[in-house]
Amino acid sequence: MKKAFGRHFALLSVTLFVLAASICAVGQDTPETVLRPPKGAQVAIVVFEDLECPSCARTQPLLEQASKTYKIPLILHDFPIGPPAHPWSHQAAVLARYFDTHSKALGNEFRDYIFQNQIEITMANLRSYAEKFATDHKVDLPFVIDPAGKLAALVNADRDLGKAINVVQTPTVYIVSSRNPNRPYVQIKDNNQLYSTIDAVMKE
């Protein structure tokens, strides 16, 4: 009986370990942690974005400049709206995740590139834009970039995370802070208030 119990306990332990590893592989953020600064930062900008969203394309350069100006992290999360409104947004996010596998900087540069060319991109020519970007950066772009669906799972996990904290549109931008436990985050609803909100949060 003790041997049987030991085998069952060992099997349970292995199962729990695999489950935990799977969760970590999809992403470490949870609804409880997503609106907090990353380790080592007191304030950060968090944005849920859609690469096919015109408002996201206009907002992203402002967020990048604010991140540089205040020397605070800019945390990007995928929130592709998908078809019918945005038919290629999910695939673009998967492509960005592919370039992330080479370096996070390259993935973010691809996101900026998509925003800059957004008005010309369609579902039919998205791959061509990705191939040009890959060639320009001397990166191989395989015919099937996500054969096991792991990159799509990361995109979907981000989108589910956004839904869990009631994100309903893009871009949704937060200034998050560990300075004031009574106000750990503030949502930016007007880009004109971005800098004044960061100033206020950093003074708390």
Q: Write down the mean pLDDT value for the chain.
A: 89
Tell me: the pLDDT tens digits for 102-140?
999 999 999 999 999 999 999 999 999 999 999 999 999
Check residue 28 and give its pLDDT.
Answer: 61
- Which carries the bigger pLDDT value, residue 31 or residue 39? 39
Check residue 29 and give its pLDDT.
Answer: 79
- Nearest to residue 172, comparing CAs of 81, 70, 93? 81
Q: How many CB atoms lie within 10 A of CB 76?
A: 20
Question: Backbone phi, then psi, for 155, in 5-degree steps?
Answer: -60, -45
Sign of CA pseudo-dihedral 161, 164, 170, 175? negative
- Assess whether 99 and 56 both reside in one domain: yes
- Structurally, the chain folds into a number of domains equal to 2
Angle separating helix axes 104-117 and 126-136, nearest 10 degrees:
130
d(CA 174, CA 63): 11
Q: What is the mean pLDDT of residues 24-34?
A: 66
Least confident of 11-15, 34-38, 148-152, 155-159: 11-15
Check residue 30 and give its pLDDT.
Answer: 87
- Nearest to residue 59, comparing CAs of 186, 196, 159, 192? 192
Tell me: the pLDDT tens digits for 34-50?
999 999 999 999 999 99
Tell me, what DSSP letter sits at residue 178? S
Q: Phi-psi bin for 149: left (phi > 0), alpha (psi -120 to 50), beta?
A: left
- Assess whether 22 and 74 both reside in one domain: no
Tell me: the pLDDT tens digits for 132-146?
999 999 999 999 999
- The strand ranges marked E within 20-136 are 43-49, 74-78
- Assess whether 44 and 130 both reside in one domain: yes
Residue 8 confidence class, pLDDT cut points 50, 70, 90: very low
What token pair was written down for 28?
């470490």
Q: Quote the longest CA-to-CA distance of the chain.
A: 69
Domain assignment of residue 20, given as a range: 1-28
- Assess whether 24 and 36 both reside in one domain: no
- Assess whether 2 and 75 both reside in one domain: no
- Assess whether 161 and 122 both reside in one domain: yes
Map tokens 């690469």 to a residue: 51
d(CA 81, CA 78): 9
pLDDT beyond 60 at 175: yes
Residue 141 identity: L
